[in-house]
Amino acid sequence: MEKNSNHGSKRILVIQTAFIGDVVLTTPMLYAIKKSFPGCYLAVLVKPEAKQVLEPLSFVDEVIVIDKRKKNRWFGMFSIIRLIQKKKFDILLSPHRSTRTAIISFFSQIPFRVGYLDSSLSFVYHKKLERKKEHEIHRLIHFVKDSINPDLQYITNYPLLEETEESKKEALALLNNFNKKPIAFACSSVWETKRWTPWGFAELAGKLIQKYNCPVILIGSREDYELSEHIYNIAKHILPEKIYKEIYNFCGKTNLITLYSLLKRCRLLVSNDSAPIHFACAAQIPTITILGPTTKDLGYAPIAENTGIVEIQDLYCRPCGTHGGRRCPEKHFRCMKDITPDMVLEKIEELKISTT
């Protein structure tokens, strides 16, 4: 496309069918598109769980859902292709690099398609961009700049989310019995090697409850409930009763947008390298990320103000993959086991934490 081309009235489709954390990191890109071309019609193709996160956004006109595991798996994805064809988009932007995404793009009948040079089946894209080695938020802003708006200057270090009246109401109901803002722990991850030790979380909870005189809530999905209960039971064995009774298991009690509303009303988040860190950054609360098999150089750790990273630096085997894994390849799991509660507490003390 030529420099300064007028896309103001164009219909633009962005494909981002990765994990929910990746979708949240895509929000500054979506805002940049709408900021660049206020009159455009902007749609996003995502997995089902991401719909509730994107629908409240004032700068997104439509959320299209693809159920890659069930309805739209294999030949079922052609129903999505037909839907996209009917919507007559003018521009397709795909930071997602999978084969499935490339197939959808190829058959979409969209006249101008942009993807990464290292995408699977990259030949389907009319313009192929180099994937820059920087944080994902900045990388996606550059995707917009290099594809449809060479003059774009907008850069942010924060994801952009918007709560709903319902999510706000649900979050306030969960916190109704608390006299002080709680500290949130996100103790799980899809990948087992990204999880800090349950003993570490339990001991840290005790230290923070005493230091800040506030409750600790364990957040996550229904699938994370059992792990959080394990942490709570460890706390019962190593902490005084008046301390461990200030730990509450909220796993399964929120959907994703309510999680965002909940975090907006928390004092601090301590989390593994998983989606809640991006929700917390959008909520602009202090955030500590515990990195094990992954490193900040991969581009997904928080870069917002008042955030910190705890990791074992210069460990020979880090990173062992982009996403982590089910088992430690070296069988010692030092990247997580060597991190102590005092190391995390020291990093927390470097942040600006509210005392009210």
- Residue 73 has a pLDDT of 61
Q: Is the pLDDT of residue 2 over 50?
A: no
Across-strand partners of 288? Answer: 270, 308
Taken as a whole, the chain contains a residue count of: 356
Question: Looking at the domain 165-348, which fold is it?
Answer: Rossmann fold (3.40.50)
pLDDT for 300-311, tens place per residue? 999 999 999 999
Q: Map tokens 């994370």 to a residue.
A: 224
Contacts 24+ apart (CB under 8 A), 74-80: 77/103, 77/104, 78/107, 80/45, 80/104
Boundaries of every domain in the chain: 11-147, 165-348
Q: How confident is the model at residue 69 (pLDDT cuts 50, 70, 90)?
A: low
DSSP 242-301: HHHTTEEE-TTS--HHHHHHHHTT-SEEEEESSTHHHHHHHHT--EEEE-SSS-GGGS-S
Q: How confident is the model at residue 9 (pLDDT cuts 50, 70, 90)?
A: confident
Architecture of domain 11-147: 3-Layer(aba) Sandwich (3.40)
Across-strand partners of 205? Answer: none
The answer to whether domain 11-147 and domain 165-348 are alike in fold is yes
Across residues 88-104, what is the average pLDDT? 95
Residue 200, classed as helix, strand or coil, is: helix
User: Residue 287 burial by CB count (10 A; 0-12/13-18/19+): exposed, middle or buried?
Assistant: buried
State the sign of the Cα–Cα–Cα–Cα dihedral 189, 192, 193, 199: positive
Q: How confident is the model at residue 323 (pLDDT cuts 50, 70, 90)?
A: confident
pLDDT for 105-145, tens place per residue? 999 999 999 999 999 999 999 999 999 999 999 999 999 99
* pTM higher than the cut 0.85: yes
- Residue 355 has a pLDDT of 74
Q: How confident is the model at residue 4 (pLDDT cuts 50, 70, 90)?
A: very low
Q: Is the pLDDT of residue 356 over 80?
A: no
pLDDT, averaged across the chain: 93
pLDDT for 196-251, tens place per residue? 999 999 999 999 999 999 999 999 999 999 999 999 999 999 999 999 999 999 99
Residue 41, classed as helix, strand or coil, is: strand
